[in-house]
Amino acid sequence: MKLKSILANVGSFCKQYQHRLISGAITFSLSFGVLIARENGVFEQAELGVYDSLVRSQLNEPVDRRIVIVEISEADIQEFRWPFSDRLFAKLINQLTVAKPAVIGIDKYLDIPVLEGREELITAISNAGNVVNAKFIATVAGRIGVEPAADLEKISRYGYVNLPIDKGAIVRRASIVGDSGSFAFEIANLYLQKIHNQQIEFNPSAIQFTAGKQIIPKLTSNYGGYRKQDDSGYQMMIRYRGNTRFFEHIRSSDVINGRVAPEKLHDRIVLIGVTAESLKDSYPTPVTTDGDVMYGVEIHANIVSQLVSATLENRQFIRVWSDDLEKIWIFIWAIMGGGIAALIPNAFKNIALLGFLVATLVGMGYFAFAQALWIPLFPALVGLISTNTLITAYQLAIQQSERKVLMGLFSRHVSKELVDIIWTSREQFMHDGRITGKEVYVTVLFTDMRNFSTAVEAQAPGETLNWLNHYLGTIANEVLAHGGMVDKYIGDAVMAVFGVPIPHPDEAARTNDARSAVAAALAIAHKLEEMNEVWVSQGFPSVSTGIGINSGFVIAGSLGSAERLEYSVLGDAVNVAARLESFNKEVDGGPHHILISEETKQRLNDSFKTEFVCKYALKGKTQETEIYRVLDLGQIKTQTV
């Protein structure tokens, strides 16, 4: 029995909150779908695009004066021809050595002797004592690497210049250590050792590099927005300082020809590299747009600056949350999107709150990135907006279905204004696509035409329907005008109810319903007098109508099958009103044939002139009912409620 009770309670709960449970199921399913899509790399390019936008938004740092680029430009190639001979490179290095820079990094392969002057180049590099040369590691099968030159390896340091390339050839990452140190890593470490007596430390047990107080974040295959990326070596995100030509550039021809003051290079990191477009050593980066590129030597300058400034000034590396924390973050925003759509059915309020949450999320993403924290912005936005949109669409579909049911039930029975009120209060009405029955206090009005058959006989067959519609339409209009509901038409009879479908629990409203019903009855009587004058002038007989009114409790709800639902009221109060209308045939109902019960009469006070008729056990009743007629002395006109 307990199990049955529990199951019954669960079933009742599910039935009561069916739409919200479905909304919750949709939200959770879509939230997990967003997580699965991200895990499979669906959002990778979009996330990296957002990352690029974040990088560009943070380009507000000062130039790193520790670094200067000695460029080999198109003008330098025109002056000295390409490739530069070993002798020319020797002269360039000798001129730089005079200025005593901290480090000289040469972003050019010197593995093969070029023209004359090899011995001079060896001597120049040896005398400088602070040169870092470039090598290239073959990471793809069948590709040839560039090994250090045997005659230069013993007198200089070497670092690989390989740059990890993302889709679109964009450089966002840097590999700082592999089997050996990278070009930028060796330059940064040499500078830190010589000028600041520090270095980037390696912890072999944790396999971590530390720059000053910071552990350099190592990229994993699923780092931030990346999914299943090659994470070989020790990779980090490049935190670019600026766009192309952000660092100070000096032409190599000016250095060779002695046109650069030595103090401009003293104790600085000097990077020699190509900026000539014809040599194609350039890449798109997050900070370049519209087809622009950044030269390889400038990318290495950004990496060097990042390592040095992190060690000396605690400039933050770009970090991310753990994979689990990112999933929770995305999931929360997706749940919020569906949640506000489910809990706030008002479309305008929902859109306004959604806009606020979108702006908040974007603001948080930009603020976090300003602190060098890359959080999942794009998938969180996708989760937030998609769940909200889908739940809103579901809610609209449900609303359309409910509106169709409600309109079908009420549009023919009540005024347009009341229909709108019903729609805004629909949750009070709808349950499983129908209106559940509930006990309400109402005032019921019945009308029925007298001598209908005689009136019909006086008309041509084609005129009867128009005539009857005119009659019934007049009654319906007065009922609606006085706030009542036309419950049904029964041939030439009409049943109207005051106090539904919006229940009136307070006594003042119930009293008002009774007065409105009587006012409507008098208005109908007056209208019928006017219509009779017209009909008589057209040769038709005059007609009258009997009206019965009673107040009391009834059961109000929808009746019928799912395909043919109708809203109506049932109960003894309805039967009494019908019997009062019929009783007009047996007693004098007054000048307008309006009979009311004691229950209704008690709510009229002095608003209407009434007169006691009798106490009588109406048909089907054992107890007697006090019956009153409503009089019209010409003082009481149609009452507006």
The answer to whether position 499 is within a domain reads yes
The answer to whether position 639 is within a domain reads no
Q: What's at 187, amino acid-wise?
A: I
Domain boundary among 304, 320, 336: 320
Q: What's the total number of domains in the chain?
A: 3
Residue 236 neighbours by CB under 8 Å, 6+ apart = 173, 174, 176, 216, 217, 218, 219, 306, 317, 318
Residues 108 and 154 in one domain: yes
Residues 72 and 113 in one domain: yes
Q: Taking the alpha carbons of 583, 588, 593, 596 in that order, is the dihedral positive or negative?
A: negative
CA–CA separation, 413 and 487 (whole Å): 6
Residues 579 and 489 in one domain: yes
Q: What's at 503, amino acid-wise?
A: P
Q: DSSP E strands: which ranges in 86-169?
A: 103-106, 131-135, 157-160
**pLDDT at position 640 over 60:** no
Collapsed DSSP state (helix, strand, coil) of residue 355: helix
The answer to whether position 46 is within a domain reads no
The answer to whether position 381 is within a domain reads yes
pLDDT single digits (tens) 196-208: 999 999 999 989 9
**pLDDT at position 412 over 90:** no
Range name among 386-400, 402-416, 612-626 with the lowest pLDDT average: 402-416
**pLDDT at position 402 over 90:** no
Q: Cβ(154)–Cβ(124) under 8 Å?
A: no
CA distances from 496 to 189, 195, 545, 566 (A): 93, 98, 14, 14
Query: What mean pLDDT is reported for the chain?
Result: 86
Q: Cβ(162)–Cβ(184) under 8 Å?
A: no
**pLDDT at position 404 over 90:** no
CA–CA separation, 429 and 423 (whole Å): 9
Residue 46 neighbours by CB under 8 Å, 6+ apart = 378
Residues 62 and 29 in one domain: no
| % residues pLDDT > 90 (the chain) | 60
Residues 458 and 371 in one domain: no
CA–CA separation, 316 and 395 (whole Å): 46
Of 16-25, 470-479, 554-563, the range with the highest mean pLDDT is 470-479
Range 546-574 average pLDDT: 80
Strand partners for 214: 211
The answer to whether position 445 is within a domain reads yes
**pLDDT at position 621 over 80:** no
**pLDDT at position 502 over 80:** no
CA distances from 579 to 440, 447, 475, 583, 625 (A): 21, 11, 19, 6, 11
Q: Cβ(189)–Cβ(102) under 8 Å?
A: no
Residue 129 neighbours by CB under 8 Å, 6+ apart = none
Residues 398 and 428 in one domain: no
| 635 or 150: which leads in pLDDT | 150
Is residue 269 left, alpha or beta, with left meaning phi > 0 and alpha meaning psi from -120 to 50? beta
DSSP string, 25-72: HHHHHHHHHHHHHHHTTTTHHHHHHHHHHHHHHT--PPP-TTEEEEEE
Residues 94 and 118 in one domain: yes
**Which residue range is the domain that position 542 belongs to?**
411-630
Is this prediction's pTM over 0.75? no
Residues 225 and 330 in one domain: no
pLDDT single digits (tens) 226-265: 999 999 999 999 999 999 999 999 999 999 999 999 999 9
Range 158-164 average pLDDT: 95
pLDDT of residue 559: 66
Range 508-521 average pLDDT: 93
Give 637's pLDDT tier (boundaries 50, 70, 90).
Answer: very low
The answer to whether position 366 is within a domain reads yes
CA–CA separation, 159 and 132 (whole Å): 7
Q: Cβ(575)–Cβ(476) under 8 Å?
A: no
Q: DSSP E strands: which ranges in 181-245?
A: 201-203, 208-211, 214-215, 234-237
Best CA proximity match to 51, nearest among 519, 486, 368: 368
pLDDT of residue 533: 85
pLDDT of residue 563: 55
Is residue 540 left, alpha or beta, with left meaning phi > 0 and alpha meaning psi from -120 to 50? beta
pLDDT of residue 432: 47
Residues 396 and 513 in one domain: no
Give 491's pLDDT tier (boundaries 50, 70, 90).
Answer: confident
**pLDDT at position 638 over 70:** no
Range name among 179-193, 369-383, 413-427, 440-454 with the lowest pLDDT average: 413-427
| 505 or 445: which leads in pLDDT | 445
Residues 339 and 285 in one domain: no
pLDDT of residue 459: 61
CA–CA separation, 161 and 174 (whole Å): 10
The answer to whether position 52 is within a domain reads no
| % residues pLDDT > 70 (the chain) | 85
**pLDDT at position 301 over 70:** yes
Residues 164 and 269 in one domain: yes
Give 447's pLDDT tier (boundaries 50, 70, 90).
Answer: very high
Range 379-388 average pLDDT: 96
The answer to whether position 290 is within a domain reads yes
Is residue 258 left, alpha or beta, with left meaning phi > 0 and alpha meaning psi from -120 to 50? left
pLDDT single digits (tens) 326-377: 999 999 999 999 999 888 878 889 999 999 999 999 999 999 999 999 999 9
Give 641's pLDDT tier (boundaries 50, 70, 90).
Answer: very low
Residues 458 and 367 in one domain: no
Instruction: Compute φ and ψ for 209, nearest 5 degrees.
Output: -105, 140
Best CA proximity match to 70, nearest among 248, 296, 257, 189: 248
| 569 or 158: which leads in pLDDT | 158
CA–CA separation, 533 and 544 (whole Å): 12
pLDDT of residue 449: 84
**pLDDT at position 457 over 70:** no
Domain boundary among 274, 293, 320: 320
Instruction: Compute φ and ψ for 546, nearest 5 degrees.
Output: -95, 140
pLDDT single digits (tens) 168-196: 999 999 999 998 999 999 999 999 999 99
CA–CA separation, 161 and 147 (whole Å): 12
Strand partners for 353: none
Range 500-523 average pLDDT: 90
CATH number of the domain bearing residue 522:
3.30.70.1230
pLDDT single digits (tens) 134-148: 999 987 666 788 999
Domain boundary among 320, 355, 381: 320
